Chain A
Amino acid sequence: MPAVEFRNIDIVFGADQKNALKLIDEGRSRDEILAATGSVLGAAGVSLAIERGEICVLMGLSGSGKSTILRAINRLNEVARGEVLVEHNGAAVDVARCSEETLRDIRMHTVSMVFQQFGLLPWRTVRDNVGFGLELRGMGAAERNRIVDEKLAMVGLTNWSEKYTNELSGGMQQRVGLARAFATDADILLMDEPFSALDPLIRDKLQDELLDLQRRIHKTIVFVSHDLDEALKLGNKIAIMEGGRIVQAGTAEDILLRPATAYVAEFVKHMNPLNVLRGTAVMRPAASLAREGDEVVLDKDGHVRLKVDGEGRPLSLDLDGRAGLLATADGEAGLIDDKLAHDADCIVAPVDLKLKAAIELKRHTDLPILLVDSLGRLAGLCDDDEIYRGLLRRLDG
């Protein structure tokens, strides 16, 4: 069961919902619907499943409907048609149709939210802002303070708890917003362009902090952004929207390498692929390499040979009769000791190595980087040619 699922939802702002829905069914555009009915199309035919523990980024220009569908998850926007299923107490609840009490329960316990302009209450201290959701639940002061202290420590604001929010910088205010959202211990976190009001350095820092927190708390995060770099950095899944409709949903690599429409292609054209592409996307697969018995030939002339075991794990390197030194780099960032990298003839790295890390490693060696899967079996290799093609995004040619 997905944590959040949109099933064919339409959202219309305005009185003439019925006619607007009819025009949506005819596939009319937002402008046509506005001219004919005076109602504004918020979203049309949106279906999307967001799995538990995922960061899903809703991406698009302003007015594309990304905030509109985000707000349907806790019914700040009413849905005209379709279902918005939210996992609440182990069952999928249709937020669009549930009772007021259920909705309130979902808002208090299951879904919390972070706002673009922070949405903090200026007459309350930081502590009372963070405890706001708990106070609405009717939780006593002692327990509330304990939880608030915990969340303030989480976002690094312990010493600021008695300040008023207007005494804080923008970045700190949004940390208060985050702490307030975490305080209710909701599984699903809605973030409506939370970092766009902040300057770029602070934004970058808060993105890193959010990723760091997410590794520990594993929430389901639905994140709205108009910034592609932010989307690619944070999102496990990205849904690109245009004119109230989702034009493509998939992983960052998917969208970068296989844009579904000209609109998406235009969108990602100036995107830096270094942090997005991984070994899997660029590598020459092991199956396409020449083999001689238990040896894989790594160069054209057959001077460089890699001996593998029965499972395909690299064992040793043969450089025209001389034994070569193999070194291993760790993780998607390809961490390796500098001296070891310098001495190595060939570097072995995980297959989900980022393209940026591959370039780093490639500086140390003339031979291709050997990419191995999670069981250590050779999956493919990444040489200069693969890196260039990745940078130019000509992977299918």
Chain B
Amino acid sequence: MYDWLTEHKIPLGLWLRDFVDLLTTHGQGFFDFVSLVLGALIGGFTDALLWVPPLLLIALFGLAAWLVHRSIGLVVFIVGALLLVTNLGYWSATMETLSLVICATLVCVVVGVPIGIAAAHRPWLYTAIRPILDLMQTIPTFVYLIPTLVLFGLGAVPGLISTVIFSIPAPIRLTHLGISSVPPALYEAGKAFGATKTQLLFKVELPYALPTIMAGITQCIMLSLSMVVIAALVGADGLGKPVVRALNSVNIAMGFEAGLAIVVLAIVLDRVCKRPERRSRKG
């Protein structure tokens, strides 16, 4: 019985390989196009960030943090942290990572939020995509790194795609949660005053769900950041590269510094993305 079972192996892996082969032969044009667009997006972002002199950019980040949060402590922390990264010699790697994170988050929001909204309006759709989302978050990253590598070639694009696969469930889930928790009373108030479906979405549902969606986006940023080392394995530039190189050459100093830069970037992004408390206008 056991022998029979092991001798008649279901060729699951082969099927999937054939499927990927099929995609490469027939969809190469499409994948090349996607690769081109995403590559240009990341490249453009990185070039823009690196074009500005580092100190000026650090000052701009500080100013932006001040405008959003009005907290002098936060500004001091951000400027200090970014100066430390520059001092360690990881400025351009940090900007490359930042660019990857921003692009991944952008793709996640553009794709994930509409999916979340659609799923909230159609319970069957959510039932259908939930196992897929679970799969995307639990399947080991390396597994889909291989086919993305085959389909999109070496470089930043497969890194970006893998990052998106890993982090897009967060905005989808939280958008779904936010939209489906709109109180029926608000929904009815909108309808009773003659709102169309579009008006309901933009004037009732999205504003109500905004804090939850923002939490989803913040989570998405953090998840993207946690993928930088993996992305470096398929050739994406950024802070992951020195970590991988340090691992291969058992370089404790370089590994620690690059790791610290990632942590610093993570804390900065987290603090900046935290939604400021809504101020009540005192009059």
A130-143 interface bits toward B, Cβ cutoff 8 Å, 1 = contact, 0 = none: 00110111000000
Chain B residues in 8 Å Cβ range of A107 = 191-194
**A184: Cβ under 8 A from any B Cβ:** yes
**B208: Cβ under 8 A from any A Cβ:** yes
**A105: Cβ under 8 A from any B Cβ:** yes
Q: How far is the CA of A117 from the CA of B186 in the complex (A)?
A: 9
**A13: Cβ under 8 A from any B Cβ:** no
A163-179 at interface with B (beta carbon < 8 Å): 163-164, 167
B38-80 at interface with A (beta carbon < 8 Å): none
Chain B residues in 8 Å Cβ range of A180 = 193
Q: Which of A74, A121, A167 contacts B204 (CB 8 A)?
A: A121
Chain B residues in 8 Å Cβ range of A167 = 280
A233-261 interface bits toward B, Cβ cutoff 8 Å, 1 = contact, 0 = none: 00000000000000000000000000000
Q: How far is the CA of A133 from the CA of B183 in the complex (A)?
A: 19
CB proximity of B212 to chain A, nearest CB, Å = 13
**A348: Cβ under 8 A from any B Cβ:** no
A50-94 at interface with B (beta carbon < 8 Å): 74, 76
CB-based A-B contact count at 8 angstroms: 69
B193 touches A132 (CB 8 A): yes
B203 touches A76 (CB 8 A): no
A107-150 interface bits toward B, Cβ cutoff 8 Å, 1 = contact, 0 = none: 11001110111111101110000001101110000000000000
Chain B residues in 8 Å Cβ range of A116 = 185
**B181: Cβ under 8 A from any A Cβ:** no
A108 touches B194 (CB 8 A): yes
Chain A residues in 8 Å Cβ range of B192 = 74, 76, 107, 111-113, 115, 190
Q: With A121-B204, A123-B208, A167-B280 as known contacts, state yes or no: A136 contacts B186, CB within 8 Å.
A: no
CB proximity of B213 to chain A, nearest CB, Å = 13
Q: At the interface, is chain A mostly helix, strand, loop or mixed?
A: mixed
Q: At the interface, is chain B mostly helix, strand, loop or mixed?
A: helix
B194 touches A104 (CB 8 A): yes
Q: Which of A112, A123, A162, A164 contacts B193 (CB 8 A)?
A: A112
Interface size class, chain A: 20 to 34
Q: With A76-B192, A167-B280 as known contacts, state yes or no: A123 contacts B207, CB within 8 Å.
A: yes
Q: How far is the CA of A164 from the CA of B193 in the complex (A)?
A: 20
Q: How far is the CA of A118 from the CA of B183 in the complex (A)?
A: 12
Q: Which residue of B lies closest to A123 (CB)?
A: B207
Chain B residues in 8 Å Cβ range of A119 = 185-186, 188-189
Q: Which of A117, A163, A164, A190 contacts B185 (CB 8 A)?
A: A117
Chain A residues in 8 Å Cβ range of B190 = 136
**B281: Cβ under 8 A from any A Cβ:** yes
Q: How far is the CA of A121 from the CA of B190 in the complex (A)?
A: 9
**B118: Cβ under 8 A from any A Cβ:** no
**B269: Cβ under 8 A from any A Cβ:** no
CB proximity of B189 to chain A, nearest CB, Å = 4
B194 touches A121 (CB 8 A): no
Q: How far is the CA of A115 from the CA of B203 in the complex (A)?
A: 18
B194 touches A105 (CB 8 A): yes
**B20: Cβ under 8 A from any A Cβ:** no
Q: Which residue of A lies closest to B196 (CB)?
A: A104
B281 touches A163 (CB 8 A): yes
Q: How far is the CA of A117 from the CA of B189 in the complex (A)?
A: 10
**B195: Cβ under 8 A from any A Cβ:** yes
B283 touches A136 (CB 8 A): no
B138-191 at interface with A (beta carbon < 8 Å): 183, 185-186, 188-191
A-B contact pairs, 26 of them (CB 8 A): A74-B192, A76-B188, A76-B192, A104-B194, A105-B194, A107-B193, A107-B194, A108-B194, A112-B192, A112-B193, A113-B193, A115-B185, A115-B189, A115-B192, A119-B185, A119-B186, A121-B189, A121-B207, A121-B208, A123-B208, A125-B281, A133-B193, A133-B194, A135-B203, A137-B194, A164-B281
Residues of B within 8 A of A (CB): 183, 185-186, 188-196, 199, 203-204, 207-208, 210, 278, 280-281, 283
Known contacts A107-B194, A133-B193; 8 additional CB pairs below 8 A are A74-B192, A108-B193, A111-B192, A113-B189, A117-B185, A119-B185, A121-B189, A164-B280
Residues of A within 8 A of B (CB): 74, 76, 104-108, 111-113, 115-121, 123-125, 132-133, 135-137, 162-164, 167, 180, 184, 190
